[in-house]
Amino acid sequence: MTERRRRYVDEWRGWTGRTWYLLTALPVDLVGFVVVLTLLCLGLGLGIVWVGLPVLAVTVRIGRLLGVFARRRAGRVGEVPDAPDWTVRPDLPTGVPGVRLVAPLADTRNWAATAHALATFPVSVATWVATVTWGALALGAVTYPAWTWAVTPADDIWLERVAAGIGETGQWTGTVLRPLVVVLAGLVLAATFPIVTRVLIVPHLVLAGLLLGERQDVRLLRGAQRAEAGRRAALLAEDASLRRLERDIHDGPQQQLLRLQYDLAIALRRFPDDTAAAERLVEESLDRSKAVLETIRNLSRGLAPPILQDRGLAAAVEALAEDSVLPTTADVRLDAAGAGLAAVERSAYAILSELLTNVTKHAHASSARIRAVAAPGGDLELEVRDDGVGGARLDPGHGLDGLRDRVEGLQGAFTVTSPPGGPTVVRVRIPVPVEAPATGGRTLAG
Euclidean distance between CA atoms 88 and 222, whole angstroms: 10
Q: Tell me the angle at which helices 52-75 and 178-211 cross, rounded to the nearest 10 degrees.
A: 130
Distance CA 235, CA 74 (A): 42
Instruction: From 220, 23, 207, 31, select the one nearest 113 (Cα to Cα).
Output: 207
Q: What is the pLDDT of residue 435?
A: 57
- pLDDT at position 297: 67
Q: What is the pLDDT of residue 252?
A: 61
Closest CA to 43 of 58, 55, 61, 60: 55
Cβ–Cβ < 8 Å for 240, 251: no
Residue 96 has pLDDT above 70, yes or no: no
Predicted local distance difference test score (pLDDT) of residue 233: 65
pLDDT of residue 439: 42
Q: Say yes or no to pLDDT of 160 above 50.
A: no
Residue 99 pLDDT more than 70? no
Q: Model confidence over 336-359: pLDDT tens digits?
A: 666 677 778 888 888 888 888 888
Residue percentage of the chain with pLDDT more than 70: 72
Band of pLDDT at residue 55, cut at 50, 70 and 90: confident
pLDDT tens sequence across 385-444: 998 888 887 777 666 777 887 787 777 888 888 888 888 899 998 888 765 444 444 433
CATH of 311-431, one of 3.40.50.1950, 3.30.565.10, 3.40.50.300, 3.40.1190.20: 3.30.565.10
Q: Is the pLDDT of residue 292 over 60?
A: yes
Quick check: 165 pLDDT over 60? no
User: How far is residue 28 CA from its own chain's centroid?
Assistant: 30
Over 80: is that where the pLDDT of 204 sits? yes
